[in-house]
Chains A and B, each alone.
Chain A
């Protein structure tokens, strides 16, 4: 019995350290915002988190809680449930997948919680505002750029984001649209890279084994293309191949830096919307009217302008 008492004391101490070690001044806080991020392990989403927190730090009346769904639909549903019982004043969600998260978004909206859907959509109109870039547009820009690089003909390897996710489908669709007037350009190999750099490298390794001539690698995000670049570099086959990606994140590991390093020929900025989301949230909380959809615009990042985005 005594042992258990001691353990209880020990646990209590640990919990105290965990919960009360950090925290803002509670008194200034007027609004609590819950942000359900689908997977903080992705660099692009980590950048989104940072941007969001940076913007929120300018407003002392805001407290932002970020829960990481760890790329698991069930976990993300539970995270949103937690925000609902905590009675957050506003919910921002970047859903892992549309269908599985739709139900819980509707439930939160029915409890009169304003909702900002960020980046990925849900299959309902029970939300306050959707903020996102248009993946089809970005994909199309990439496709047109690729056609220009290839001068109208060549073999392309496409590395998909998580299959079944909306951005992957749209980035693919846009890319096809961009290439549509150049029927000689062929996509010879496409695989699901699940947004992961490691997977991008594996897929490229396989592609290099199978195909002697690869003229361009298009990936649905930068890390996968950088992975592919490493594979090609190891096989001494980077010279005749173009590499283009999407996202254009800042930072040492980001796409803009990769363009500067010569690993990518170009990347297409996919704005995270973190800053915008906080601004829109403040508008909603202040009772202002906001449009149902806010579209973020892309930029082509190449050697000429990359240093502005690093």
Chain B
């Protein structure tokens, strides 16, 4: 019985990050500051719902990033695509008066297009993903700045401004903010896709052995392009949420989001070498980063320590998952 549990532990890709998340949750509870009335602040419903809202943008981006990284690719352009989509959202709804639905379609299409260009250049152009998406990261940011004339665009409501329906992104249901539901929805859809659908299987196969996948008759180029399109689409979706949260489309936002998102994916047990990884792990990774920022923020720990600790956690997470290091210094 014990062996079976141990076996399961070592074989399930997603279990370790999820256990890490549970462990951190318990630690955060223990070390949470306590309010004057004696409640554990970390566990307050408002705080937990804050955490979920705060991670939902990075979370949605990381879902797309996971798909790309499983194919052994990388998408550095997500932060810029988020800024582009946020800017388009603000201008679409304020200056161009496209209305709610059309604005969202335009913003999402910008992500799809960016992803498609990435995918085509990588697959048919045979350029490394790192370089292509680095170029897109630069280019999309430039395009966002061009549209916005380098200024942020505020979103107001009323006649000649944004319609009231746009406020849906800042509403809450049962005390849980709307973006959280989008994050959960996206996670479920793509998790089912990876586990149950053909395209999911193909994504793993390409990451595991691209040449074998090609010889097994898979249309490798199209499948890979699809993952970049999904990544762009989800970054754009996060961009709409971002703009709606801040009532502003800012072409300078989303800087270094790609790195936070890659960190979450890696903490979640996905290998940058491809072929291995789960969305469950990624979501655990996103929550681990979110809880860490929250508990450190509650304690007023400053940026310097936060960054050092984050760096340490990334390395520790990967070491634990790969099991390369025996922690002999802590006693056998």
**B99 on the A face (CB < 8 A):** no
**B209 on the A face (CB < 8 A):** no
From A16, A68, A85, name the one whose CB has the most chain B CB atoms within 10 angstroms: A85
**B128 on the A face (CB < 8 A):** no
| Contact A86 B246, beta carbon cutoff 8 Å | no
CB neighbours of A84 from chain B (8 A): 46
**B234 on the A face (CB < 8 A):** no
| Contact B27 A8, beta carbon cutoff 8 Å | yes
Q: Chain A interface: which size bin?
A: 35 or more
| Contact A86 B33, beta carbon cutoff 8 Å | yes
Kindly provide the distance from the CB of A109 to the nearest chain B CB, expressed in whole angstroms. Answer: 16
Kindly provide the distance from the CB of B149 to the nearest chain A CB, expressed in whole angstroms. Answer: 9
0/1 string, A71-91, CB within 8 A of B gives 1: 011100111011011110000
Give the number of residue pairs across the A-B interface with Cβ within 8 Å: 106
Question: A9 vs B248: C-alpha distance in the bound complex, in angstroms?
Answer: 43
CB neighbours of A97 from chain B (8 A): 152, 248, 250
Known: A1-B9, A70-B303, A85-B47. A7 touches B327 (CB 8 A): yes
**A103 on the B face (CB < 8 A):** yes
Question: A72 vs B252: C-alpha distance in the bound complex, in angstroms?
Answer: 10
| Contact B35 A86, beta carbon cutoff 8 Å | yes
Kindly provide the distance from the CB of B229 to the nearest chain A CB, expressed in whole angstroms. Answer: 26
From A1, A14, A15, A82, name the one whose CB has the most chain B CB atoms within 10 angstroms: A82
| Contact A73 B36, beta carbon cutoff 8 Å | no
| Contact A77 B246, beta carbon cutoff 8 Å | yes
Known: A81-B50, A164-B151. A66 touches B300 (CB 8 A): yes
Kindly provide the distance from the CB of B155 to the nearest chain A CB, expressed in whole angstroms. Answer: 7
CB neighbours of A18 from chain B (8 A): 296, 299, 301, 305, 309
CB neighbours of B9 from chain A (8 A): 1
Query: A1-55: which have CB < 8 Å to B?
Result: 1, 3-4, 6-12, 14-16, 18-19, 40
Question: A15 vs B247: C-alpha distance in the bound complex, in angstroms?
Answer: 36
**B185 on the A face (CB < 8 A):** no
Question: A193 vs B278: C-alpha distance in the bound complex, in angstroms?
Answer: 43
CB neighbours of A79 from chain B (8 A): 297
| Contact A11 B299, beta carbon cutoff 8 Å | no
The 8 closest A-B pairs by CB, nearest first: A100-B246, A99-B154, A85-B47, A6-B330, A65-B300, A81-B50, A164-B151, A82-B297
User: Chain B interface (Cβ within 8 Å of chain A)?
Assistant: 6, 9, 19, 23, 27, 31, 33, 35-37, 41, 44, 46-47, 50, 54, 57, 150-152, 154-155, 170, 242, 245-248, 250, 253, 293-294, 296-303, 305, 309, 316, 320, 326-327, 330-331
**Besides A15-B31, A81-B50, A82-B294, 5 other A-B contacts (C-beta < 8 A):** A3-B326, A8-B27, A87-B37, A99-B152, A100-B246
